[in-house]
Amino acid sequence: MSNVAELARLVEAGENVKAVAEAERLFLSGVSVQNILTEGLVAALRALSHKCTTENFQLLDVLLASRAMVEVIDQVVAQEIENGMDRIAAMHEARMDGDNCKKTLVIGTIEGDVHDLGKHLVATVSRISGIRVVNLGKDVPPQAFVDAAVRERAHIIGVSSLMTVCLPSINKIRPLAEKSGISPVIVAGGAAAQQVEKGYLDVDYVAFDVFDGLNYFTKLPYLS
Ligand code: B12
């Protein structure tokens, strides 16, 4: 059997080696990157929600699935996009044009939140699409986003949040940026951010997934 549901099953079960092999098979049989990411990887992780609550936290299961997902992204998906075997850019009008090369994205997961798989995926896909990416990691204070944006002359700040309680920290980024004399485009993503409006977070855009985010980054004009 070689299908996306099987990949999702393997990732959910934490079978990293088999998941990598299954993803390779799926690409060879012509399945798209978007399908593999959405139906295979993200769906598998989301299916583990019930094992990741305050009452029921099955850490090992979730971490093994997380590892399997990262290995599929780093060993197969990144390679696949780089090889240009899948027309991800064309599909999402995210062209690897000259302008992307001039854009710098500073990205991180907001303070208090250690979820970094979605952010890792966005960083990987953006980098491959020609955007210069500075990955600040997880549990990043608002001021650290701004300091990095100043230091790196970043055009875009990408902030991820999967924890509802951490959302209020996102609102601090814009005033801190203005205080530092910069006005970057601020884009939020992640399961918690997606549940609120951009005005609530004081950001320019809330992306519903990696492709939506990349499409938005790519359409932004380059500001010198
Ligand atoms: C894996 C996981 C973990 C792992 C994280 C491993 C890691 N290295 O990231 C571990 C085990 C560490 C973990 C810990 C906890 N977790 Co957890 N976790 C998850 C789980 C199951 C999957 C998340 C995931 O990685 N999905 C796959 C990625 C690829 O998807 P994604 O992040 O949504 O990203 C996509 C888009 O959103 C978008 N995107 C994301 N960020 C950005 C940013 C930008 C700029 C853009 C453009 C796009 C973008 O792109 C991605 C691809 O399309 C979710 C369930 C869920 N429904 O999300 C719970 C979940 C997020 N966790 C939850 C909880 C409660 C916890 C804990 C508090 C549990 C505990 N008892 O301690 C701790 C939190 C610790 C902390 N302070 O952060 C809750 C949060 C509830 C809430 N609303 O606040 C969830 C929703 C589960 C639930 N109960 O429903 N968790």
Regarding whether 135 and 197 lie in a shared domain, the answer is: yes
Regarding whether 113 and 41 lie in a shared domain, the answer is: no
Regarding whether 15 and 117 lie in a shared domain, the answer is: no
Give the domain-ending residue among 25, 55, 86.
Answer: 86
Among 171, 172, 164, which residue's Cα sits nearest to residue 201?
171
For the chain, first and last CA: distance in Å?
51
Regarding whether 206 and 106 lie in a shared domain, the answer is: yes
Q: Give ligand 1 pocket residues (Cβ under 6 A).
A: 42, 45-46, 48-49, 52-54, 57, 59, 62-63, 66, 107, 112-119, 121-122, 158-160, 162-164, 187, 189-192, 207, 209-210, 213
Q: Per the structure, how many domains does the chain have?
A: 2
**Residue 113 resides in a domain:** yes
Regarding whether 170 and 106 lie in a shared domain, the answer is: yes
Range of the domain at 32: 4-86
Regarding whether 127 and 204 lie in a shared domain, the answer is: yes
| pLDDT tens figures, 143-170 | 999 999 999 999 999 999 999 999 999 9
The residue whose CB lies within 8 Å of the most ligand 1 atoms, and thus the one to mutate among 52, 206, 218, is 52
Distances (CA, A) of 199 to 34, 41, 47, 137: 28, 30, 29, 25
Mean pLDDT of 26-53: 91
What is the CATH number for 81? Answer: 1.10.1240.10
Mean pLDDT of 116-127: 91
Among 200, 194, 157, 204, which residue's Cα sits nearest to residue 42?
194
Q: What is the pLDDT of residue 129?
A: 82
Res 207 pLDDT > 90:
yes
